Structure 1
C-alpha cells in the first residue's frame, strides 16, 4: 500500500528546519531596504563560489600559462567569458555591498551586538585577503606589480621582515611558487568565509536584528516571510540586473587596462594601483613616506573598526537620534570617498599632501570625535535626568 503521507512529512520537516532562520524569524517591522545588503552579500558569496569553482577547472597556476588560460577561458570555453566577467565584476559588487552594509551598521549602531560585529569585521578582512590574492591570479602587469608592492610591505617588519617575504614568495622574487600558493589560498579561503558567514548569521539571529531606532529586541516584530523576503527578492533582482549589465555590456569597465598585458618583471607600470575597492587603504598606505609607518597605518585603518563597540556607549545607538554622530558619520563617508579618489591619482604633489591630511582626518573621526561625541551626549542626558 502506498504511503501518501511521506511527501507531506518531508515538506513539513523542511518547513520546520527553515522556520527559526527564515520563515518565522522575528524581525522589526520598521527596517528598510538598507537591511537587504546582508542577504545581498550572501547572494554575492554564492555567485563567487560557483563561478570560482567552474573557473578553477580551466585555470593553470603557472607563470608561463596563467595569462594564457585566462584568454583560453574567455575565448575558447563555451560561455567562458560570462563566467570570467561574472566573477570579476561580482567581486566589485561584493565590496560595494560590504561597504554599504558596514556603513548602515555604523549609522544605526549594529556594533552594539559585539560578537556579530567582530565576526563581520573578521569576514571583511578575510574578504580583502581573498580578493587581493585573486587579483594576482590573471598574471597581468597590474596583478604582478600589485603583488610585488603589497607583499614587499612585510619587509618593513623588524628582524624577520625579509625572511617572511621570501617565505611567502617561495624564493627570492615572485615566481611560480608564489602564484601556486596564492591559487590554493584563493580556493580555500572562500569556504572559510562561508563558514564564518553562517556563524555570523546564527549570532545575529540569536540576538535579533536592530532597526532604524538603534534599539534591539523591540516588541513590534513581524515574521520575516513574507514581509521582508519580498524586499530581499527585490534586492536580488536589482543586483542581478546590474551584474548582467556589467557582464554583458561593460565587462571591462572596472578593470585596469594594464591587466590585459602579460606580466613583465622588467617593465614597471607608470602608475601602480589596486582595484577601486582598495583605493582608500592604498591612499592611507602612501600618505606616510616611511614603509613601516605606512604599513602600520594601512593595517590600523581596517583594524580600527574593532574599536567601535568599545568607544561608543550610549542609550540611543542610532545616529538618527544623535545629531553630532550623524554629522561625524557623513564626514567619515566623505573622507572615505576622498581617500578613494586620491588613491586613484599618481603619488605626486598635491595628492601626497592631500592623502596625509585626509588620512589623519579619517583616524581623528573614529578615534577621537566619535568617542568624544558619545561622552558629551551622555553627560547632556545625565544633566537632563
Structure 2
C-alpha cells in the first residue's frame, strides 16, 4: 500500500469516517426529492460560511464616521457600514460577485429550510425513533436560519436593513404587551432603542460568530441523530411495502455521496446563473436622523409578518409567528397516534397547508399592495424626534 493510501486509511480509522461512508441509506431517500432539501440547506450553509469569511474580513460595522459616495442622482452621505459594503461591491475585484453569491445562497438556504420543514411536516418524520428530538432541532434551525438571514440583511445599513432591524426590535417590545419582560432587557443590552454603531457591532458579532456557531452545533446533532435513527420512512399505509423500502438500502459512499456532490455543483451553477441574470444592486443608504421615505420593504423572509402587522391588530399579528413556532415545537407531543401515510394524517397535512398559506399570502400581499395604516406605539420602536418607521414601496438602487 502506497503512503497516500495508508494516510487515507488512517484518517478514515481515526475519525470513524469509514462507518459514516458505509452508513446504509434507503434507496427511496436518494430518489425522492422531498428528502433532498435538507442537504440543499446544509450545502448552502457551507457556501455561506466560505463566502462569509471573506466578506467578514472586508466589512467594517458602524454608523459613524460617514462618507460621501457618487450615485446615479449625484452624491450621497453614507454610514461606515454602508460604505464598507459599497467598497466590497463596487471597488473590490470580484467583490460584487462574492457578495451576490453570498446573498443568493442565503435566500436559497432560507427557501430550502422552509421547504424541508414542510416536507418533514407532511411526511410525519417526527414519528420515527428519535424523530421528535430531530424535529425540535429542525424547528430551532429554521428559526435561526431566518434570523441569520435578517441579521445579514441589516449589516449593509441600507433602508431595507434599517427597517428589518426595527422590525426585530419591535418583536421584543411587543412581547412586553403579553407580559414577557424582554424588551427592556434587550434594549439595555443593546444600549439604545434605535440604530447606533454599538448595535451594528453587536449584530455583526451575532451574524459572523454566535448564530453560525449555534447552527453548526445543532446541525451536527441533527446529522448524528439521522445516523442513529435513520431517515423518515416512506408515507405509505402498507406496512409490508414500508418495510421493503426501509430494507432496500445503499451505502452513503458512493451513492448518496455522488448525489450530494452533484447537488452541490448544481447549486453553484444555479447561484452563478442567478448572479448573472438577476444581480441585486446595493440599495439606497440610511443615515441616523434621516427620515426613511415610504417605499421600503423588509427582506422577504419577514415580509409576511410585516404585512400582518400593518393589516390587523398588533396583538394578533405579533402572536402569529410566536404561536406558529410554539405549535411546531409541540407537534410531536400532539401527533402521536396513527401511521405516517397521507391518508392517516390528512388533518396534519391541512395544518401544513395552512402554515404555507399564512406565510405565502402575507408575502405576496406585501409585495403587491400598500396597506394604509396610521402608525401607533404598537407598530414602531421608540423613535428619535421626527423619525418614523417606513412602509411598503420600491427602494431606489444605487449605481
Return the TM-score normalized by structure 1. 0.80
How far is 1:327 from its partner?
5.1
Q: Name the CA shift for 1:129/1:325 in 2 (closer, same or farther; >3 Å).
A: closer
Is the CA contact 2:123–2:341 (under 8 Å) kept in the aligned structure 1?
yes
Q: CA offsets per residue over residues 283-335 of structure 1, 9 Å max, x none?
A: 44445423x44333332222321122122123321326645554554454344
Counterpart among 265, 268, 273 of residue 245 in structure 1: 273
Tell me if the contact between 1:123 and 1:196 (Cα under 8 Å) persists in the aligned partners. Answer: yes
Q: Is the 8 A contact 1:28 1:210 kept in 2?
A: no
CA distance in 1, matches of 2:38, 2:11: 23
What is the Cα deviation at residue 195 of structure 1? Answer: 1.6
**Which residue of the other structure, out of 22, 25, 28, is the alignment partner of 1:24?**
22
1:148 aligns to 2:171 (yes or no): no
Pair 1:268 & 2:292 matched: yes
Structure 1 position 184, deviation (Å):
1.0
Q: Which aligned pairs between 1:113-132 and structure 2 lie closer than 5 A? A: 113-132=131-150
The answer to whether the 8 Å contact 1:63/1:179 transfers is yes
Match of 2:326 among 293, 296, 303: 303
CA distance in 2, matches of 1:271, 1:242: 30
Counterpart for residue 12 of structure 1: 9
Structure 2 vs 1, CA of residues 219 and 162 (structure 1 numbering), >3 Å: closer, same or farther? closer
1:113-150 CA-to-partner distances (Å, cap 9, x unmatched) read 00111011111122222222211110111211221233
Q: What residue ranges of structure 2 are gaps of 5+ in the alignment?
A: 65-79, 237-241, 374-399
After the TM superposition, which of the residue ranges 293-302 and 104-113 deviates more from structure 2? Answer: 293-302
Q: Is residue 2:122 matched to residue 1:107?
A: yes
The answer to whether the 8 Å contact 2:163/2:298 transfers is no
Contact residue 139 and residue 262 of structure 1 kept, 8 A: yes
Q: Does 1:76 align with 2:100?
A: no
Instruction: Report SS of the residue matched to 1:226.
Output: helix
Q: Which residue does the alignment assign to 1:180?
A: 201
Give the direction of change, closer, same or farther, for the CA distance of 1:5–1:233 in structure 2 (3 Å limit).
Answer: closer
Q: Secondary structure at the match of 2:25?
A: strand
- Alignment match, 2:34: 34
CA contact (8 A) 1:58 1:73 kept: yes
SS at match of 2:247: coil
Where does residue 213 of structure 1 map in the other structure?
A: 235
Report the Cα offset of residue 78 of structure 1: 1.8
Q: Give the 3 Å change call, closer, same or farther, for CA 348–202 of structure 1 in structure 2.
A: same
Q: Is the 8 A contact 1:271 1:346 kept in 2?
A: no
Q: Could you say which residue in structure 2 is the equivalent of 1:198?
A: 220
1:280, CA displacement in angstroms?
2.9
Residue 87 of structure 1 and its aligned partner are, at CA, apart by 1.1
Q: Residue 226 in 1 paired to residue 254 in 2?
A: yes
Instruction: Answer with 162-171 or 213-222: which moved more.
Output: 213-222
Q: Which structure has more helix as a fraction of its residues?
A: 1
User: How large is the Cα RMSD of the aligned pairs?
Assistant: 2.6
**Equivalenced residues, count:** 340
Given that 1:285 and 1:294 are in contact with CA atoms closer than 8 Å, whether structure 2 keeps it comes out as yes
> What SS does the corresponding residue of 1:27 show, helix, strand or coil?
strand
User: Is this contact kept in 1: 2:172–2:183, CA < 8 A?
Assistant: yes
Give the whole-Å Cα distance in 1 for the aligned partners of 2:109 and 2:370: 26
**Separation in 1, partners of 2:26, 2:294:** 52
Distance 1:320 1:96, change over 3 A: farther
Q: TM-score normalized by structure 2?
A: 0.77
**2:62 matched residue in structure 1:** 62
The residue that corresponds to 2:43 in the other structure is: 43
Q: How big is the shift at 1:172?
A: 4.5
Q: 1:331 to 1:169 in 2, by over 3 A?
A: closer
